A and B are shown apart, each in its own frame.
Chain A
Amino acid sequence: MADIKTEVMTVNMGPQHPSTHGVLRLVLELDGETVLSVAPTIGYLHTGIEKTTEQKKWQQVIPLVERMDYLSAQSNSMAFCLSVERLLAVEIPERVKTIRVLLAELQRLNSHLVWLGTHGMELGAVSVLMYCFRERELLLNINELIAGFRMFPSYNRVGGLREDLPRGFHAAVREVLDRLPGKLNEYEDLLTKNEIYIERTRGVGRISKEDAIAYGLVGPIARAAGVTYDVRKAFPYLGYETFDFQVPVQTDGDVYSRYLVRIAEMRESIAICRQALDRISPTGAFAIDDPRITPPPKDRVYTEMEALIQHFLIYSQGFTVPAGEAYVPVEGPRGEQGFYVVSDGTNRPWRVKSRAPSLLACQALETMVVGGLIADVVAVIGSIDVVMGDVDR
């Protein structure tokens, strides 16, 4: 019997659409509501940051890279600083490493909270968004406390941190950490066992372990599919090997598994933060003691001529970095992240390339979405947690 002739409908989802996380554009071919094909189109947020960095001095790059993946500013700048420090072949103080771990984990919590909120909202559970942003506010307050800037603190510096931790930092972080587990339970009450949520997410946007590796997926998406790879465990940096934490792994590779992995990761992050906080002394070294890289403290700048000259040189000429290349991977909120940095021995980078986990996640969208319904597209986009700033750079 001949098929009833139906017309395939082409729908343009984005770049202006309430749930494409910014300016992602998907050209969907629909049969009824079933997705036959999807063609992601990106580049609407392409700001040429990689080209811009080549004109900037090394330390000027830090605020730029923070704006790439705007939900994980601390991770970005930390990854960049690690790469440059590797090129400079300097060893940063233990205290700075631990502070960076703490800030990176707080950033992961922050990013996952935004993810959970928007993901919940896209499935129609609007209240989850409000709850998550309520807690995210506390984390942003910590950023404000240390740097005076909530979204892009630019607190990391090559060779350490911009300044020492402010007074009351420990108490503020501990208060947030004490509050979060209970709030996580609250979110889980709303979603984890919710029949509708499970029906919407289980078996949706499935990707196999092999596909996840082949498409270069990392982080929670890959771990939800059964890949155990986590940079913090596989190639430890900043002394992650000394922290006691688990890498949550699920095997289904669907939206629900990604949700479970991220929730478990948040709990692990809280554990890491507690350990890190115990190790950080309230005051101490916050940068390496290297006059080439670190500017002198302000009181010396005001009183000593040499210090003033040093300060002036660092901020006008910058510092030079030996010729070579370096790539230090870190585990950002969205997976392996890092900056491939090439130096020609001058005070400006020759090439800075950011490894963008979101870009590859966008590429794999097709495998996850085709065959599902238009409502699943929204669920899947939410679950892979793309940040368009990271995709387009």
Chain B
Amino acid sequence: MGSDTLFYLFGAIAIGASLAVIGQRNPIYSVLLLIASFGALSGLYILLDAPFVAVIQIIVYAGAIMVLFLFVVMLLNAPHEETEYDERVHPLLRSGPTRFGVALAVALMVELWWALTKGRETGGFPEGSVSSVAAIGRSLFTDYSFQFEVTSVLILVAMVGAVVLARREPRRPRSPGNQ
């Protein structure tokens, strides 16, 4: 099997699974399809001769972040998406968050188109710089050290924010007298 076939296979899985993610009513299935999509993506990375990135993709996204997603979905015990809207109304005509979603989708499309056309102009990345772990490490801590540190700080801020948001006042246990 040539690498072209593999590329189309993984690509099809990635796109198909991603589309199915938003088509699912059951959030658990959505999460699983997203994982499948990540798996296909990491297959694509391997085809690009970047096994390190592929494995990291699995460890970080599929192995850690999606487990958290699944945890939350299970904890909320929401087997089906709540459908508040009337099914007969066309999605684009519905109010509130849906319109916002449509706007976001349009923005994403435009960005994607822009990025693809731009990418073709610059001609992609230099060869061989992504395959070796040492090379990745070196470029992260030399050429891109500022970006790396900024990202770290950003994640730290997000983490602190999450802790603050999720913190709850300690629940007072009910005493047996007052129930």
Contact = CB atoms under 8 A, between A and B. Distances in A.
> Touch between A and B in complex, CB under 8 Å?
yes
Interface of A: 1, 3-4, 6-7, 9, 31-32, 34, 36-37, 366-367, 370-371
A3 B166 CA distance: 9
Interface size of B as a range: 10 to 19
A370 B174 contact: yes
B166 A370 contact: no
A31 B76 contact: no
Chain B residues touching A, majority SS: loop
B173 A4 contact: no
A4 B174 contact: no
Contacts of B168: 3-4
A6 B176 contact: no
Nearest to A364: B176
16 contacts: A1-B165, A3-B168, A6-B75, A7-B76, A7-B77, A31-B171, A32-B75, A34-B171, A36-B173, A36-B174, A37-B174, A37-B179, A366-B176, A370-B174, A370-B176, A371-B173
A31 B173 CA distance: 12
A367 B176 contact: yes
B167 to A, nearest CB: 9
A32 B168 CA distance: 14
Contacts of B176: 366-367, 370
B179 A4 contact: no
B80 to A, nearest CB: 15
B166 A4 contact: yes
A380 to B, nearest CB: 14
Nearest to A211: B176
A9 B76 CA distance: 11
A31 B75 CA distance: 10
Interface string B141-179: 000000000000000000000000110100101101001
Contacts of A371: 173
A371 B165 CA distance: 23
Contacts of A34: 171
Given A4-B168, A9-B77, 11 more contacts: A1-B165, A4-B166, A6-B75, A6-B76, A7-B76, A7-B77, A32-B75, A36-B174, A37-B174, A370-B173, A371-B173
Interface string B56-76: 000000000000000000011
Nearest to A36: B174
Contacts of B165: 1
Contacts of A37: 174, 179
B25 to A, nearest CB: 19
Contacts of A32: 75
Nearest to A369: B173
A225 to B, nearest CB: 16
Nearest to A9: B77
Nearest to B165: A1
A53 B166 CA distance: 60
Nearest to B78: A7
Contacts of A9: 77
A128 B168 CA distance: 40
A37 to B, nearest CB: 7
A3 B167 CA distance: 9
A6 B173 CA distance: 16
Contacts of B179: 37
A4 B76 CA distance: 10
Contacts of A31: 171
Contacts of A7: 76-77
A216 to B, nearest CB: 14
The 9 closest A-B pairs by CB, nearest first: A371-B173, A367-B176, A370-B173, A366-B176, A7-B77, A370-B174, A3-B168, A37-B174, A36-B174
Nearest to A31: B171
A34 to B, nearest CB: 8
Contacts of B174: 36-37, 370
A34 B170 CA distance: 12
Nearest to B173: A371
A370 B173 CA distance: 7
A368 to B, nearest CB: 10
A9 B77 CA distance: 10
Contacts of B77: 7, 9
A366 B75 CA distance: 25
Contacts of B75: 6, 32
Nearest to B164: A1
B138 to A, nearest CB: 43
A228 B139 CA distance: 72
A34 B75 CA distance: 13
A32 B71 CA distance: 12
A108 B179 CA distance: 37
A29 to B, nearest CB: 10
Contacts of B76: 6-7
A375 B10 CA distance: 45
Interface in B17-48: none
A266 B43 CA distance: 65
A115 to B, nearest CB: 25
